[in-house]
Chain A
Amino acid sequence: MYKILKAEKLADKIYLMDVEAPRVAKHCEPGQFVIVKMDEKGERIPLTICDYDREAGTITIVFQEIGASTMKMSKMIAGDYFRDFIGPLGRPSDFVEEDLETLKNKKMLFVAGGVGAAPVYPQVKWLKEHGVEVDVIVGSKTKDMLILEKKMNEVAGNYYPCTDDGTYGHAGMVTTKIEKLVEEGNKYDVCIAIGPMIMMKFTCLLTKKLEIPTIVSMNPIMVDGTGMCGACRVIVGGEVKFACVDGPEFDGHLVDFDNAMKRQQMYRTEEGRAILKVQEGDTHHGGCGNCGGDN
């Protein structure tokens, strides 16, 4: 059992939790993810590691409520337990292995969309700790949905918030901000884009044109997260890869996003039904002995 030490609402439908998981905290690196399972009957849910504290043995996760499982998860509070918490999974970001001097001479641009700010944060933080300053664009629909702003600002070189509705920062999509920065004379050696599939797709179309090598973090449907099931297949450069072991980060210019987006829809009917079930009063919290929320 893995104890939730902190549970906080960051914005509408976006939540942050600190979870006790010493083995994961000791070995994780930026770019990796965990799989959580709430209770006996729960799904295995992959979530990116958003921060970690090796001494305290904790992992921070940030998740968006979009379906039945995340809806249930949003009701968990500090003191509750996850039945299972597995990780770190996937490969660390490439820069973790790169020579620091080379890295310091690189101009890096991070682009986060929505809840994607969460997985971008530990990467920017790691780079800052290793003396590398990077530019960060964070996009959201509206001002109230922007998350981790203070933390991100602390570790980013230049921090550029954007909102689709223009309520804060740059008005417009993240892609328009990238274009603007490049027009203004910024030269980037690499772009790292993490967010909704559609945002990553359009970012890649743009950076391909701008000839900026781009890395994306894929979030296909997963089950085990260890290479055993093949549910997480993505096509990269015409080859089939398993995102949980070969990724989740890939060369964005080689990813077949159309296939990936179709695959994300695979369980739409079943997921819709599950949401209805939760909404129709199947929600419960604590004390039922079923979900592990009572100890």
Chain B
Amino acid sequence: MADVLKRIPVREQDAKERATNFEEVCYGYNKEEAMEEAARCLNCKNAKCIEGCPVSINIPGFISQVKEGNIEEAYKVIGESSALPAICGRVCPQESQCECKCIRGIKGDPVSIGKLERFVADYALENDIKPVKAEKTNGHKVAVIGSGPSGLTCAGDLAKLGYEVTVFEALHELGGVLVYGIPEFRLPKHKVVKKEIEKVKELGVKFETNVVIGKSTTIDQLMEEEDFEAVFIGSGAGLPMFMGIPGETANGVFSANEYLTRSNLMKAFDDSYDTPIVAGKKVAVVGGGNVAMDAARTALRLGAEVHIVYRRSEAELPARVEEVHHAKEEGVIFDLLTNPKEILVDDNGWVKGMKVIKMELGEPDASGRRRPVEVPGSEYEIELDTVIMSLGTSPNPLIASTTKGLETNRRKCIVAEEENGQTSKAAVFAGGDAVTGAATVILAMGAGKAGAKGIHELLSK
């Protein structure tokens, strides 16, 4: 019998092997492993884990079904709260959400809630278990802008209530960051994202790709000319930031968004696709979040030596622990407490290196983290051919600037109520990264749910 304090380990692709391919890193549990892990759950009466989940999945409820081997039942329990469990099971920062509240975590490892959720969801995808659909439509038309997790969740919830929902997406594929940002090796596109979106389609949601709201049409026009009674904006925070240092427009300097979009959305890593990518031989990724880890691990797989250049220390890395761990295992080098000053450019306009400076941690700043300060005289140069800037993103102003009466804040985020997504404009709701700035999949889903609730309250009056 296994030690109940320890979680059942999950099988992963060997680090050396996976550093050269785009196949998924983590294989997930099989049924026996899942049932065994599920048996570790104490089925707590006052389950703290639920409090940690932004969409309040009935965690002991679904886990107890897994324990009994009733995977279909487990899927139904999860389905009450989440439309995208195969995705959340993979990319949620569980260690700081559901799992960090788990009672098992006090003495040993918390229950692997995320991995169990993933197992149940994958099982449902493989066995094509259908979500429960509304019996008939209620005749109300709602438009959802953006097909990321917030938009998909809002659309799915409204469709279940009988609304006629159309999702408008600017790109040629559905999924938002799930398809253009998060790499294949962490979140398979065909096997997982597409299939999970298929389930939202099965609920009756219509999708129109290639529609850039603010350009192809506007929110006001959707309401006045196409009879949409309410609109949910889930347009994300897609605008990349740069540092503003010399040399940043040189060839070989990319935003993480561009690098990842070329690789994920346009599949540049696959030779049969037409979009090119400059892989780089020696790459620096500037930043320390999930996006930086994804860009670094992508560059590594394309054959480069990769350095993460981050101005604080390891403890402050904003990326998930699991991602940092995987990146290290695969061979990504961490140049911590280091900050770029200038990108060095050769005569043909290509990156040839970067001038950086050493940093040390000073007093805590507004975010509570110790503020990095330059160590005088510690500049040095590193040789490179590629720099990927991963400094964060902000909401695209396109929608706000073309919608009358839609209020935004100083950070260009759309202002919306947390509990129902209501914006400053009548019948217009918003949520996800467009409102909070770059955050997480599950928070965006929570906001999509709140928006659906707000719209339902408005239209069912």
Contacts and interface: CB of A to CB of B under 8 A. Distances in A.
B251 A230 contact: no
B398 A42 contact: no
A245 B277 CA distance: 22
Given A224-B261, A226-B398, A228-B238, A266 B266 contact: no
**Majority secondary structure of chain A interface residues (helix, strand, loop or mixed):** mixed
B215 A223 contact: no
B398 A267 contact: no
A84 B172 contact: yes
A227 B238 contact: yes
Interface stretch (B25-33, B68-76, B112-120, B267-275): B267-275
A89 B215 contact: yes
A42 B173 CA distance: 13
B238 to A, nearest CB: 4
A240 B216 contact: no
B348 interface: yes
A229 B295 CA distance: 13
Contact of A86 (B212, B238, B252, B261): B212
Interface in A19-33: 23-24, 26-27
Interface residues of A, number: 40
A223 B238 CA distance: 13
A88 B216 contact: yes
Contacts of B275: 43-44, 223
A84 B210 contact: yes
B61 interface: no
Contacts of B171: 224, 226
A245 B244 CA distance: 19
A69 B276 CA distance: 11
A23 B276 CA distance: 29
A178 B278 CA distance: 40
B251 A88 contact: no
Interface in B219-276: 238-240, 242, 244, 248-249, 251-252, 254-255, 257-258, 261-262, 266-267, 272-276
A234 B171 CA distance: 23
B349 interface: yes
Contacts of A240: 242, 244, 248-249
A227 B396 contact: yes
A235 B258 CA distance: 18
B373 interface: no
B215 A88 contact: yes
Interface of B: 170-172, 180, 209-212, 215-217, 238-240, 242, 244, 248-249, 251-252, 254-255, 257-258, 261-262, 266-267, 272-278, 348-349, 396, 398
Nearest first, the 9 A-B pairs at minimum CB distance are A262-B349, A270-B276, A229-B258, A230-B255, A84-B172, A228-B238, A86-B210, A267-B276, A43-B274
